[in-house]
Amino acid sequence: MTIAVIGAGAAGLMAAVSAAIHNKDAKIFLFDKNPSAGKKLLRTGSGRGNIGNEHQSISCFHGNDEDFYNKVITSHPLSFLLSVFDELNIDITVKDGYIYPRNQQAKSVRDAFITKLESLGNVRFLGSKEIISISYEKTGFVLNTDGWHYEADKVILACGGASAPDTGSDGSAYKLAQSFGHKLITPYPALVPLVCKKDPLFKTSKERMSASVSYKGHTATGELQLTEYGVSGIAVFQISRFVSMDLINGEKPVISINFFPESDSDHVYDMLLKRASSGGRYILNTLLPEEMAKSIIKSNSLDSVDIPSAESIRALSDLLTDYRLYVTDTKGFERSQVTAGGIDTSDIDPQTMGSFLRKGLYICGELLDVDGDCGGYNLQWAFTGGYIAGEAAAADD
């Protein structure tokens, strides 16, 4: 049996390992556009390799078919994935629920997979090989590159979505699945910075603080980063998929920032009123970065030197807990960490990641219409689907 795995990212590396383990007689070819494997994997967790998260909830994953990704995640939960990492000699550490390799180097995760594949002996890595089309003949699949073709009994598509195109996942692989009749749900950037209408806050770009960001019932708390074009940071990333989706549908999203996520407007009002009554010159001193505080006070038409009135403080407390920004765009796939949308999962078997439209074809990872929150969930999805696809493809029919 010959198995072709297209894409040597997180899903593809895991698929190749899983297939090689479950069928030692199979010949496995692992293709990638890049000369080396795991280029995008090296960037995960800001290079530290955030490979999972102790907090497990199906609400951390998104897509049009919750039942599908729920079946995949629950059939192979985090505990199973950690046991696989252990077999790969990936020792882990946990920080605030985020799971990393102990040395906090994503490169070591990539290298652990490569070492395992080399030790198994039945996997051949073919770098700098872009599969431009796939057809199915009587004898099996035919994979075409520019000037060459390969044959395989089974094919696993693990090519990634459209995010971070400089790593090779530029969205071109969708057509490989579509050529077998699979439907594409419009891809859009997720975990991405947001471009906003000009605001006084952006004069204090590069400031960072803890805040909560809300949009249409979705709220995330974490680091907020102000930029010259808008906002970024984990709190923004977590709600960005919903904003991005509405943008492609022609809506004009408005997000709300609470600079005091542990408090409501009344609590902030009482705190600021107390500060003002004590004669404090800057009532936001030590609460927010200085330049940001000045910008907010100015935008609220307050004199930062004089003691403001109770009415002015009420307006300020409302502003600080519900600061509205008008989103005009995202920073696109070039700056997004993951792709939302993708190949429709209604034609994929969650037990095998196999196609209902073409026997012997498997699709996994970011290529599918499933994306996760920031914090290791997207790698968990990729690794889990890759393992399932590799095991299923390795089984003799």
Local confidence band at 374 (pLDDT 50, 70, 90 cut-offs): very high
Return the number of other C-beta atoms located less than 10 Å from residue 357's C-beta. 13
Per-residue pLDDT, 30: 98
Per-residue pLDDT, 297: 76
**SS3 state at 132:** coil
Q: For residue 171, what are its two tokens? A: 């969205």
Q: Is the dihedral of CA 282, 288, 294, 296 positive or negative?
A: negative
| 156-170, 305-319, 323-337, range with the lowest pLDDT | 305-319
CB 149 within 8 A of CB 143: yes
Q: For residue 40, what are its two tokens? A: 């995008």
**Average pLDDT of span 33-61:** 95
Q: What is the DSSP letter of 60?
A: G
Helix axes 310-321, 265-277, angle to 10 degrees: 140
Residue 396 in this model has a pLDDT that exceeds 90? no
Q: Are strands 184-190 and 254-258 parallel, antiparallel or unpaired?
A: unpaired
The rounded percent of the chain whose pLDDT value lies above 70 is: 97
CA distance 351 to 319: 49
**Which CATH architecture best describes the domain 2-188+342-394?**
3-Layer(bba) Sandwich (3.50)
CATH 3.50.50.60 location in the chain: 2-188+342-394
Q: What is the DSSP string of 287-318?
A: TS-HHHHHHHHHHTT--SSSPPPHHHHHHHHH
Helix axes 377-394, 78-87, angle to 10 degrees: 70
**SS3 state at 36:** coil
Matching residue, tokens 């985020």: 98
Residue 280 in this model has a pLDDT that exceeds 70? no
Return the number of other C-beta atoms located less than 10 Å from residue 275's C-beta. 19
CA distance 260 to 267: 10
Matching residue, tokens 């790698």: 379
Residue 301 in this model has a pLDDT that exceeds 80? no
Q: Is the dihedral of CA 336, 342, 348, 354 positive or negative?
A: negative
Q: CB-hemisphere CA count at 13 Å for 351?
A: 1
Give pLDDT tens digits for 86-121: 999 999 999 999 999 999 999 999 999 999 999 999
Q: What is the DSSP letter of 297?
A: H
Local confidence band at 260 (pLDDT 50, 70, 90 cut-offs): very high
CA distance 118 to 110: 13
Distances (CA, A) of 342 to 209, 346, 362, 392: 33, 12, 15, 22
Gyration radius from the chain CA atoms: 24
**SS3 state at 392:** helix
Q: CB-hemisphere CA count at 13 Å for 71?
A: 12
CB 187 within 8 A of CB 367: no
Give pLDDT tens digits for 196-242: 999 888 887 778 899 999 999 999 999 999 999 999 999 999 999 99
CA distance 24 to 28: 10
CA distance 111 to 106: 9
Q: For residue 250, what are its two tokens? A: 């022609």
**SS3 state at 75:** helix
Residue 305 in this model has a pLDDT that exceeds 50? no
Q: For residue 209, what are its two tokens? A: 């603080």
